């Protein structure tokens, strides 16, 4: 396969994730906290307009390049206009490009004539249009492991939306100091603590959605536990899962440990020497007493490390979906029988020995129950975040 298509697809996916997650974070986290504290949001809005504008340019360029590449790669020469109207990739491109162009017009109006388009309406339109473009992408490239296409599209859309809330939100949090006016930097720790508390609700919702739907998709694509180490797809998938768990661990550390350090620094109390207790995490620096600015710097640095890990995860995901054959298709090719999610498990059950059959069935059941467990745990965590936020607001 040519590297052009995975590269263009990677740019498109990244741009859409930034658009969805960043606009949701600006809409529900940054600007509400600024309004509550009476902070001038002009600087943050300029950052939002630039981020959305460049992301729209990247999304439109990659979507158009991807469409041209696919049209040129068609088995028979086809008229471009007919290709956009008749083929599924063409219709998906029409939806994506139409939504992106409309959002570009709305962004230009907000930038040049802000009185004509209120901030919340602009952010809402960008969020809705980006979700529509993402849905068109999922419509064109969903899993074929299940016979019900709507289920596959819904699962992929949920998985990518959850990931977008996580990744795109971190892009905004990583730029936290540049969002505030200079006169508010002396109270940076208090503002950062409020923003973290709000963002935690968005992040927990996104992580839960991404993990639960991702586990279901893994159950579709890797029906046997040995496929995780016997197929290239399974090995790369295992690497992706390991990186995601690393990013999730960093996110938990940011929320539980570094957020508490910011709160203590804002109150003028020491944190007990976090760096002394975790000497291997040099990225967080050395204990320096109750220094609010330093505490926020450590947090932002950690967020950027988490974001870097997730960017690698995105690259691995694009390679996984665009260049590798899922494990269930490899099993189907060996047997010569087209397999769906139900039929491939039935076939494996027939050909395997009793011990192997128990392992395969148990692995699939474990993944299904795992998805349910993730959803329940995430709902409880979200309830905790909402409760803590509500109590703090009161």
Q: What is the pLDDT of residues 325-341, one digit of tens each?
A: 665 555 444 444 444 44
On whether residue 53 sits in a domain, the answer given is no
Query: Which tens digits make up the pLDDT trace of 28-87?
Result: 999 999 999 999 999 999 999 999 999 999 999 999 998 888 777 766 666 667 777 777
pTM: 0.84
325: number of Cβ within 10 Å = 13
CA dist 25 and 118 (Å) reads 17
On whether residue 290 sits in a domain, the answer given is yes
Q: Count Cβ neighbours within 10 Å for each residue of 85-98 and write b for 16 or more, e otherwise.
A: eebebbbbbebbbe
On whether residue 159 sits in a domain, the answer given is no
Q: SS3 of 2, please?
A: coil
Q: Residue 337 corresponds to which tokens in the numbers above?
A: 């029988």
Q: Residue 242 corresponds to which tokens in the numbers above?
A: 């390991």
Contacts (Cβ under 8 Å, ≥6 apart) of 322: 1, 5, 6, 9
Q: Count Cβ neighbours within 10 Å for each residue of 148-186 and write b for 16 or more, e otherwise.
A: eeeebbebbbbbbbbbbbbbbbbbbbbbbeebbeeebee
> Is the pLDDT higher at 365 or at 390?
390
pLDDT(142) > 50: yes
User: Which pLDDT score is estimated for 153?
Assistant: 92
Q: How far is CA 235 from CA 73, 205, 248, 373, in A?
A: 29, 28, 20, 24
Question: How many structural domains comprise the chain?
Answer: 1
Contacts (Cβ under 8 Å, ≥6 apart) of 288: 294
Query: Which region, left, alpha or beta, applies to residue 353 given φ > 0 means left and ψ of -120 to 50 means alpha?
Result: beta
On whether residue 350 sits in a domain, the answer given is yes
User: Which pLDDT score is estimated for 339?
Assistant: 41
pLDDT(1) > 80: no
313: containing domain: 211-394
On whether residue 349 sits in a domain, the answer given is yes
User: Which pLDDT score is estimated for 23?
Assistant: 97
Question: Using N-to-C axis directions, what is the helix angle for 119-140 and 88-112, rounded to 10°?
Answer: 170
* Mean pLDDT, residues 199-207: 96
On whether residue 268 sits in a domain, the answer given is yes
- pLDDT band (50, 70, 90) for residue 384: very high
Q: What is the mean pLDDT of the chain?
A: 82
Element (H, E) at 203: helix 188-221
Query: Which tens digits make up the pLDDT trace of 109-125?
Result: 999 999 999 999 999 99
- pLDDT band (50, 70, 90) for residue 181: confident
On whether residue 373 sits in a domain, the answer given is yes
pLDDT(204) > 80: yes
On whether residue 330 sits in a domain, the answer given is yes
The C-alpha angle with vertex 9 and arms to 163 and 316, in degrees rounded to 5, equals 55
User: Which pLDDT score is estimated for 79?
Assistant: 67
Query: Which tens digits make up the pLDDT trace of 229-279?
Result: 777 888 889 999 999 999 999 999 999 888 888 888 776 654 444 444 444
| CA diameter of the chain | 71
pLDDT(164) > 50: yes
Number of H helices, E strands in the chain: 17, 0
Query: Which tens digits make up the pLDDT trace of 355-382?
Result: 344 345 567 778 888 999 999 999 999 9
Most confident of 180-184, 336-340, 384-388: 384-388
Query: Which region, left, alpha or beta, applies to residue 38 given φ > 0 means left and ψ of -120 to 50 means alpha?
Result: left
CA dist 361 and 224 (Å) reads 8
Distance of CA 224 to the CA centre of its chain: 27
């Amino acid at each position: 396969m040519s590297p052009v298509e995975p590269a263009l697809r990677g740019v498109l996916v990244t741009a859409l994730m930034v658009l969805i997650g960043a606009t949701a974070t600006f809409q529900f986290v940054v600007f509400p906290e600024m309004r509550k504290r009476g902070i001038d949001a002009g600087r943050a809005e300029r950052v939002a307009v630039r981020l959305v504008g460049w992301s729209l340019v990247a999304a439109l360029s990659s979507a158009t390049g991807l469409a041209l590449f696919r049209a040129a790669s068609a088995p028979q020469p086809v008229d471009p206009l007919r290709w956009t109207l008749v083929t599924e990739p063409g219709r998906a491109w029409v939806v994506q490009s139409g939504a992106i162009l409309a959002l570009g017009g709305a962004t230009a109006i907000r930038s040049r004539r802000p009185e004509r388009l209120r901030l919340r309406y602009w952010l809402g339109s960008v969020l809705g249009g980006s979700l529509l473009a993402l849905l068109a992408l999922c419509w064109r490239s969903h899993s074929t492991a299940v016979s019900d296409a709507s289920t596959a599209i819904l699962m992929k859309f949920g998985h990518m939306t959850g990931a977008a809330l996580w990744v795109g939100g971190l892009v905004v949090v990583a730029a936290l100091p540049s969002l505030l006016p200079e006169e508010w930097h002396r109270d940076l720790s208090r503002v950062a603590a409020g923003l973290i508390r709000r963002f935690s609700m968005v992040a927990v919702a996104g992580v839960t959605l991404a993990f639960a739907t991702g586990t279901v998709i893994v159950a579709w694509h890797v029906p046997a536990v040995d496929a995780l180490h016997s197929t290239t797809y399974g090995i790369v998938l295992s690497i992706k899962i390991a990186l995601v768990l690393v990013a999730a661990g960093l996110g938990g550390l940011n929320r539980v440990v570094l957020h508490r350090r910011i709160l203590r620094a804002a109150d003028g109390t020491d944190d007990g020497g976090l760096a002394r207790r975790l000497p291997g995490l040099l990225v967080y620096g050395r204990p320096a007493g109750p220094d609010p600015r330093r505490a926020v710097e450590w947090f932002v640095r950690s967020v950027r490390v988490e974001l870097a890990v997730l960017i690698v995860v995105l690259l691995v995901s694009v390679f996984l979906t665009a260049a590798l054959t899922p494990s269930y298709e490899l099993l189907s090719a060996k047997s010569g029988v087209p397999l769906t999610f139900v039929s491939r498990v039935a076939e494996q059950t027939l050909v395997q020995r009793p011990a192997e059959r128990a392992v395969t069935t148990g692995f699939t059941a474990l993944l299904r129950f795992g998805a349910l467990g993730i959803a329940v745990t995430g709902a409880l965590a979200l309830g905790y975040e909402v409760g803590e936020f509500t109590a703090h607001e009161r």
